[in-house]
Chains A and B, each alone.
Chain A
């Protein structure tokens, strides 16, 4: 069964807007929550990741918000650009360097 649930399935945002993608998990043993960006014909590329001891992490225009009690985390892309158009996957894993459990992905389209 899907251990990480991701929404929405697709998202259209205007250039300069904020893109928000949400994920939820059940397994409280998960201790690592990365976000991956995937372009067509390419493998996923690590965008940003967070551990449950912090509630927010920001890298440039990308921010992860983490709510441990709700078992939810989200990706915010500020000032979205057409070059951000890609599929985004959230994931979760337990223990260092172990299997990643991916969400089903969100297809983001940023319009000019």
Chain B
């Protein structure tokens, strides 16, 4: 049973809208990363937060932003949605200086 919970599980949005996806990490996991997984592809790194500060970012535009909160929850915000943003968005967490991420089951976002 994964200790990372994501909500909602599915979401349909219209092009141009904004969306917020949420993640609740395991207690003590102060590193959280977000990934985008297009259909039939491997996950692509969006960004990572460590102790509430962004400390790494992949090749995604600034309209992808995030926050991490002291209670081990985090969120991914995407503005000005585009059709290509349709994907499974995965949250993954790990504890300080320990290899190995635990992934949530993801949020399936469909942009129409």
A residues with CB within 8 A of B: 6, 32, 34, 36, 41-46, 49, 89, 91, 96-105
Query: Cβ of B99 and Cβ of A96 under 8 Å apart?
Result: yes
B40-94: which have CB < 8 Å to A? 40-45, 48, 50, 56, 58, 90, 92, 94
Query: Cβ of A97 and Cβ of B2 under 8 Å apart?
Result: no
B interface residue count range (under 10 / 10 to 19 / 20 to 34 / 35 or more)? 20 to 34
Q: How far is it, in angstroms, between the C-alpha of A43 and the C-alpha of B34 when the chains are bound?
A: 12
Query: Cβ of B98 and Cβ of A104 under 8 Å apart?
Result: no
The residues of A that contact B99 with a CB separation of less than 8 Å are: 32, 34, 49, 96-97
Q: In angstroms, how far is the closest chain A Cβ from the Cβ of B51?
A: 12
Which among B33, B42, B97, B101 is the interface contact of A46 at CB below 8 angstroms? Answer: B101
Q: Contacts A32-B99, A43-B106: A99 and B90 contacting too (C-beta < 8 A)?
A: no
The residues of B that contact A49 with a CB separation of less than 8 Å are: 99-100
Q: Which residue of B lies closest to A43 (CB)?
A: B103
Q: In angstroms, how far is the closest chain A Cβ from the Cβ of B25?
A: 13
Q: Which residue of B lies closest to A90 (CB)?
A: B42
Q: Across the A-B interface, give the 7 residue pairs with the lowest CB-CB distance, nearest first.
A: A102-B42, A43-B103, A99-B45, A43-B105, A44-B103, A104-B42, A97-B31
Query: Cβ of A42 and Cβ of B56 under 8 Å apart?
Result: no
Query: Cβ of B102 and Cβ of A99 under 8 Å apart?
Result: no
Query: Cβ of A98 and Cβ of B56 under 8 Å apart?
Result: yes
The residues of B that contact A98 with a CB separation of less than 8 Å are: 48, 56
Q: Which residue of A lies closest to B31 (CB)?
A: A97
- Beyond the given pairs A43-B103, A44-B90, 18 more chain A to chain B contacts, judged by CB atoms under 8 angstroms and listed by A's residue number, are A6-B42, A34-B100, A41-B105, A43-B92, A44-B43, A46-B101, A89-B42, A89-B43, A91-B42, A97-B50, A97-B99, A99-B45, A99-B56, A100-B33, A100-B45, A102-B43, A103-B42, A105-B41
Q: How far is it, in angstroms, between the C-alpha of A6 and the C-alpha of B40 when the chains are bound?
A: 13
